[in-house]
Copies of this chain bind each other. A is one copy, B any other.
């Protein structure tokens, strides 16, 4: 019997890079950024995962967001198992916790770990990449990633450097050996990466057997794995949901905060990747939102009742029932969401954090 594929949707993000649309109470993965209301990033991730696996779709999220995740899953028509985290401890803890749950149900599980807050422009191409990544992970017991073809010299991402061999030799077409993970580069290095054709963006998607993940965690992050042992023991003892939650809280009281990339994958051996050109975006800033939506004829990207006069290159987004009028301004981000408004130049879109800091310092946390 072949191993069963399961998806782990990492939905623990709490970022404010898309403030004021994203809030502490409603992070990015819950936002619908599509022009046609196709669904939140999470809903789209759930459907994508459901199409790629025959086993369970596990969603790891903050316990506070579990009900919101459940509602998204129901709206998306995807059956899910939600694993709540008492607090955010980054992706190594989240994926480890999911692995503990999956190993309890299916010791032979193959896991695909997928962030909940990414945009994919070409879903059929992504589906093919997912199929190959799972196939590589289950046939060869390797760690597989999906490496995104870079469309620009981005300095905000880590990269995967391909080995020279044109094929990893796993019997799965299009799979390449990864020579190494490289940190976020400077602009010149990023430009060289894009020109050279041997570097792909690391999108944080990983495919491997649950057992291999457990072994890697035990070896590379022993404190993490030891802490999660209490959860595994509770599950093995047939504990009820409350007892499992209590064991999880106990584990998270001591678990270190580190990403699965830094904690495990960058040190692991035998990592392969499926290069993919799928219109991928981490939607990490309002500038990224503008790019994935595309500009109208007047050079502005708008959503909602927005008018622009004497201005180009603006991104303006407003809630239904609200209006924005821009006169004589260009290359600005103007976002109204709920009770708050952000105005920032498009080339400083990453500085939304300054707005968030300023609001916190001014005692205006209620808007975060």
Chain A residues close to B by CB (< 8 Å): 19-20, 305, 307-310, 318, 321-329, 332, 334, 336, 339-345, 348, 351-352, 354-359, 361-362, 364, 367
Residue of B nearest to A336 (CB): B341
Contacts of A339 in B (CB 8 A): 321-323
A344's contact among B328, B345, B357, by CB below 8 Å, is which? Answer: B328
Q: Taking the nearest CB of chain B, how far is it from the CB of A57, in angstroms? A: 36
Main secondary structure of the interface of A (DSSP, over half): mixed
Given known A307-B362, A354-B310, A355-B309, contact A334–B326 (CB-CB < 8 A): no
Residue of B nearest to A314 (CB): B343
Q: List 8 tightest A-B contacts by C-beta distance, closest first.
A: A325-B355, A307-B358, A327-B344, A323-B367, A309-B354, A328-B348, A323-B340, A324-B341
Inter-chain contact B328/A358, CB cutoff 8 Å: no
Q: In the complex the two chains form, what is the Cα distance from A324 to B345 in whole Å?
A: 15
Q: In the complex the two chains form, what is the Cα distance from A323 to B339 in whole Å?
A: 6
**Can you list 9 A-B pairs with a CB-CB distance of less than 8 A?**
A305-B364, A307-B358, A309-B351, A325-B343, A325-B359, A326-B343, A327-B342, A328-B345, A341-B341
Inter-chain contact B310/A325, CB cutoff 8 Å: no
Q: In the complex the two chains form, what is the Cα distance from A308 to B355 in whole Å?
A: 8
A351's contact among B318, B327, B348, B354, by CB below 8 Å, is which? Answer: B327
Inter-chain contact B307/A359, CB cutoff 8 Å: yes
Q: In the complex the two chains form, what is the Cα distance from A343 to B310 in whole Å?
A: 12
Contacts of A362 in B (CB 8 A): 305, 307
Known: A309-B354, A323-B367. 13 other contacts (CB 8 A): A305-B362, A307-B355, A307-B358, A307-B359, A307-B362, A309-B351, A309-B355, A322-B340, A324-B341, A328-B344, A329-B344, A332-B343, A343-B343
Given known A307-B364, A362-B307, A364-B307, contact A343–B355 (CB-CB < 8 A): no
Contacts of A348 in B (CB 8 A): 327-328
